[in-house]
Structure 1
Amino acid sequence: MKWTGQFSGYSASAFRKDLISGCIVGIVAIPLGMAFAIASGVKPEYGLYTTIIAGILISLLGGSRFQIGGPTGAFIPILLAIVIQYGYENLLIAGFLAGIFLVLMGLLRLGSLIRFIPKPVTVGFTSGIAVIIFSGQISNFLGLQGVERHEYFFYNMKEIVLRISSMNLYSVLIAAICLTTLIITPKYLPKVPGSLVGIIVSTLIAALLFPGKVTTIGSAYGIIPGGLPQFAPLELTWDRVVMMLQPALIIAMLGSIESLLSAVVADEITGTRHNSNRELIGQGVANMATPLFGGIPATGAIARTATNIKSGAVSPISGIIHGVVVLMIVVLFAPYASNIPLASMAPILMVVAWNMSEYKTFTHMLRTRTTDSLILLVTFLLTVFTTLTVAVQAGLALAVILFIKRMSSMLAVNKVLPDHSSNKEKVQPHMVTEDRDCPQIGIYNVEGTLFFGASYTFESFGQKLLAAPDLRVVLLRMGKVPFMDTTGESNFSRLINRLMERGVVVIISGIRPQPKKLLVKTGCYSMIGEDRFFEHTGEALNYALENIQYNKCLGCTQYAFRECSKLSTKGILNDKHIS
């Protein structure tokens, strides 16, 4: 879809809908932008600048009609850790480098790869982030004094316990008022942003009834400056760039996951389809531009995107308007936001954490008690108690290991014989018994993927074959082997070679295109011989019967095939046809 396709057929009626939705989302985004910035360890105005610049650029250049970009809760633990360890200036460099990574991911068309991240991993780290955000606001909710921010959950909880004696009852009351407003506003005023109402009500009560009793944004971070965001070039040095490469990559990976998940949610609601690679490029450009104005990393915001759609948006114009609305409010009213109590911001982030926790999906996955439950739990716990990087790496590694284990257990090699009671005489495993088996011909169904994880299963099968003393012919039915990798091919070729060294004739039937192509490339196909590859089992079995030692059939009472009764008494092959 071309970029201009998002605006094709655009009309005045569509603009009115975008204008309304853009204004609504812009108002919703203001308290969230400040709250996310404060929780990330930076000044609240930087969250507003991010909302303005990233919001406009993501809508303008991204691959989704309805995506709303800006600071999000998912970034809070990562950004806070970077600020604590490296400082705010280096956070800007990390955000800029993350933007470069995102653009490269889009240009290399890696957008579709995000779909391969397992659901338990995404739910696990999302729920873990929600716990970190929620717990990080306890100190502001209670109005604790002298609390130091730490990178790890355990130390932050310890800090709260140590400072609990400094609890401010006025802060608790203001936070409770804001929380109550957040809960009841959607019930009675569903079209009014609850976060905005909560902040206004609680701020007015604090200013009129408890002046100077609670910590405000102004007293903690200084007055929020009005006016336009100021351009400030980054102080890039080689040492700083190298130092921030890993944090930048983490930001880029999380940003790509979060933004594409948001775009998918938008697609599900509207029935449209986004362009994942263009979305990554748009996200990348936005994250390269935002740090130049002091903004923090941004990505697609699922809740604001859903609000945008429900408010009637029809094109990316609504996202651009949302950024312009925030800009106008910052220019005109920013200093007044300095009077907002930090206790009023805490409930907003707590509600955000609760909504992003995916607790229903989390509990559902946990109750299934499958390997996915283990992946979910490990990712969640590591997100909370270590870092997001460790959690995602461990979750993905565990998912891969368990997937390989499942796939390897799905490879099955069963000995079969024709079932003469059926019309088509299909070969079946249950036809092989102690009293009915051919010592010279072994027919085997190979079912599953022949890859490195299944090497043990295939090697065990090979050892049994090589231990059969009278074996003359092996017929491998490979119609149910969809894929073979180089490790599987190596094990396969080694077994074939050892069988042929013993004088055993190897025949293949029903081989599929991918395994056949690989065998041709490696030379195994020519080693077996083109004349020993058959499309159907019946043809392959006729060939097999031509290559046995008939004298060993004399006196045999196994009667595995129709021809066995004649071969057992005469030792000659009168009828070579097998239906």
Structure 2
Amino acid sequence: MTLTERLRVYTDRFRAEWLGNPRAELLAGLVVALALIPEAIAFSIIAGVDPRVGLYASFSIAVITAIVGGRPGMISAATAATAVLFVTLVRDHGLEYLLAATVLAGLIQIAIGSLKLAFVMKFVSRSVMTGFVNALAILIFMAQIPELVGVPMVTYGLVAAGLAIIYGLPYLTTAVPSPLIAIVLLTGVVWFTGTDVRTIDDIGALPDSLPVFLIPDIPLTFETLQIILPVSLAVAIVGLLESLMTASIVDELTDTTSNKNRECVGQGVANTATGFIGGMGGCAMIGQSIINVKSGGRARLSSFSAGVILLFLILVLGDFVRNIPMAALVAVMIMVSVGTFSWSSVKNLAVHPVSSSAVMVTVVAIVVVTHNLAYGVLAGVLLSGVFFAAKIAQIFRVRSELSADGRSRRYIVEGQMFYASVEDFLAAFDYREALDEVILDVSGAHIWDISSVAAVDMVVLKFRREGARVDLVGMNEASETIVDRLGEHHKPGALDKLTAGH
């Protein structure tokens, strides 16, 4: 390949990954930036810090992950999932410890990505993913309820008008994202009519200066590490969990793939840098990512511009942003909630296996009750593991064939041998049968763990104790390796140990 051809390949790759459709990317970034402002302020309040901490974080994380992250078009910023983890730390030790914990969380994420541990996402089942999405949709909707309770009646009219624009405008034109039009029109109506409704200015003050580099003012002692490490670990793990699941969802929405290990590193770099400019930790946001994708954002430019426009809006156009009615943003977030929820999963409850439906419902219930996505996903993964083990154990069986002279019996083991199938395996043998030879044929089985190795040892040694010769045949290479390494029946004195034990 010539130098010119290489340059053309790199140029095409850059355009596809970074620019996409520049006009659509920039408009999507604007919509996302407007939606980020109230959420960043709200998450700051949740964590117990000044609104600028969340706003600076959203700017920094969005820009940095756009550059070094592994999923183009995904939006990362300050989030509720990480904000709730800082509450106790801020209350007991103050803002500086939050910043230090954010830096350390980022370093942990960089280590996880560098060690290529993102593969653990493979163990998150489809049912868990669906439960995660549905729970998040419900949480997004629930977060809008305070803006709809005890408010002037005109607020409901504004929300209804916003939804009508959001869902109706695409039938006329898709040149401009309908959520952006809804925000601009409703803001104009409220401003020109002087309608007294709740605005962004009522949530908290916007910053009026650029963020500056600073080192958290904390003592560099082992005691400090003990204080921030548990929080940093929680933020790192929860942040990566939500980010990787969001990346998978964006993969599906855009029919593209992403580099999950690079995303881990990107999230870590973003959090580390954010902690040094006075921002709180964050991660990917499924709601904002869906807004971005539905508004036409596919490339890195959309997420990069979202962060830059966010900073521009709060510093230069602060007077306009302060007057955006919350009703307009509520309409946008309701659209996100409705679009995020997997409505087909409700219909599929009667069709899918009970175990899959139970996992999905469990994830939703735990997340909605605890408002913690990590708890729900962890419970779902564990429950999926239990159901999978039970299902695999059910297809395990042992059958036997007696020789013509009645002196030899071949036991044929089929299926997966692991801790859940050990009981059925041990119950399949008659040790009192007078045999000269027992053949244990495992050619149709796979021996997975120490529990199944111990069970094989027990069967072989018990038959030997009864005077029968035992041949273990048909092991595949992996089974033979684990049996040779962990088994006891082929070692000197193994029968004596069994006899002594009984």
Q: TM-score, normalised by structure 1?
A: 0.73
Q: For the residues of structure 1 that align with 2:255 and 2:53, how far apart are their CA atoms?
A: 34
- 1:378 corresponding residue in structure 2: 362
2:120 corresponds to 1:113: yes
Alignment of 1:139-538 (within 5 A): 139-142=146-149, 144=150, 167-211=151-195, 213-222=196-205, 224-236=206-218, 242-268=226-252, 273-301=257-285, 316=300, 319-361=303-345, 363-365=347-349, 367-388=351-372, 389-416=374-401, 439-462=406-429, 465-468=430-433, 470-522=434-486, 524=488, 526=490
Partner of 1:103: 110
Q: Secondary structure at the match of 2:441?
A: strand
1:454 maps to amino acid: S
Conservation of the 8 A alpha-carbon contact between 1:27 and 1:193: no
The one-character-per-residue Cα deviations of 1:476-511 (angstroms, maximum 9, x if unpaired) are 221121233111111111210111121111123322
1:9 is paired with a residue whose SS is helix
Against the structure 1 CA distance between its residues 252 and 484, is the aligned structure 2 distance closer, same or farther, given a 3 Å change threshold?
Answer: same
Q: Secondary structure at the match of 2:116?
A: coil
Paired AA for residue 55 in structure 1: A
Tell me what 2:36 maps to: 33
Displacement of 1:355: 2.2
Largest Rg, 1 or 2: 1
Q: Return the letter of the residue paired with 1:32.
A: A
1:53 aligns with 60
In structure 1, C-alpha distance between the alignment counterparts of 2:85 and 2:277, rounded to whole Å: 21
Q: Which moved more, 1:5-14 or 1:516-525?
A: 5-14
1-side partners of 2:175 and 2:199: how far apart? 28
Tell me the SS of whatever aligns to 2:443: strand
Of 75, 78, 83, the match for 1:79: 83
How far the C-alpha of 1:370 sits from its partner, in A, is 1.8
Q: How many residues align?
A: 476
Once the 2 structures are TM-superposed, how far is the Cα of residue 338 of structure 1 from its aligned partner?
0.7
- Secondary structure of the 2:146 match is helix
Q: CA deviation at 1:79?
A: 2.1
* Counterparts of 1:140 and 1:6, CA distance in 2: 51
Question: Which residue does the alignment assign to 2:499?
Answer: none
Computed over aligned residues only, the root mean square deviation of the Cα atoms, in angstroms, reads 3.4
Task: Tell me how far 1:120 sits from its aligned partner.
Answer: 2.0
Task: Give, in angstroms, the shift of residue 11 of structure 1.
Answer: 8.4
Judge conservation of contact 1:231–1:292 (CA < 8 Å) in 2.
yes
SS of equivalent residue, structure 1 residue 225: coil
Q: 1:312 to 1:370 in 2, by over 3 A?
A: closer
Give distance in 1, aligned partners of 2:188 and 2:148.
Answer: 17
Q: How far apart are 1:292 and its partner, in Å?
A: 3.1
User: Is the 2:162–2:331 contact (alpha carbons within 8 Å) kept by the matching residues of 1?
Assistant: yes
Q: Which amino acid aligns with 2:29?
A: G
CA gap of 1:236–1:453, structure 2 versus 1, over 3 A, is farther
1:123 aligns with 2:148: no
Structure 1 alignment gaps of length 5 or more: 145-166, 419-436, 529-579
Contact 1:36 1:71 in 2 (8 A): no
Q: Which amino acid aligns with 1:391?
A: G
Q: Which moved more, 1:492-501 or 1:396-405?
A: 396-405
User: What SS does the aligned partner of 1:71 have?
Assistant: strand
Cα pair 2:141 2:333 within 8 Å, conserved: yes
1:289-329 deviation digits (Å, cap 9, x = unpaired) = 22333434333455666776788878645544444344444
Question: Are 1:136 and 2:143 matched, yes or no?
Answer: yes
Paired amino acid for 2:64 = L
CA contact (8 A) 1:21 1:313 kept: yes
- 1:161 is matched with none
Shift of 1:447: 0.9
**Percentage identity across paired residues of the two chains:** 23
Measure how far apart 1:351 and its partner are.
2.1
Of the two structures, which has the highest relative contact order with CA contacts closer than 8 Å and spacing of 6 or more? 2
> Partners in 2 of 1:236 and 1:355 — Cα distance?
44
Say if 1:52 and 1:220 are closer, same or farther in 2 by CA, change over 3 A: closer
Evaluate the alpha carbon distance shift between residue 454 and residue 107 of structure 1 in structure 2; reply closer, same or farther with a 3 A threshold: same
Partner of 1:69: 75
In 1, the alpha carbon distance for the partners of 2:163 and 2:274 equals 31
Query: Taking structure 2 as the reference length, what is the TM-score of the superposition?
Result: 0.83
Distance 2:125 2:461 in 1: 39
- 1:280 Cα deviation from its structure 2 partner: 0.6
How far the C-alpha of 1:341 sits from its partner, in A, is: 2.0
Distance 2:89 2:19 in 1: 46
Q: Give the distance between the partners of 1:34 and 1:104, measured in 2 at CA.
A: 31
Contact 2:69 2:262 in 1 (8 A): yes
Is the alpha carbon distance of 1:135 and 1:365 closer, same or farther for their aligned partners in structure 2, counting shifts above 3 Å?
same
Moved more, 24-33 or 47-56: 47-56
Decide whether the 8 Å contact of 1:141 with 1:347 is kept in 2: no
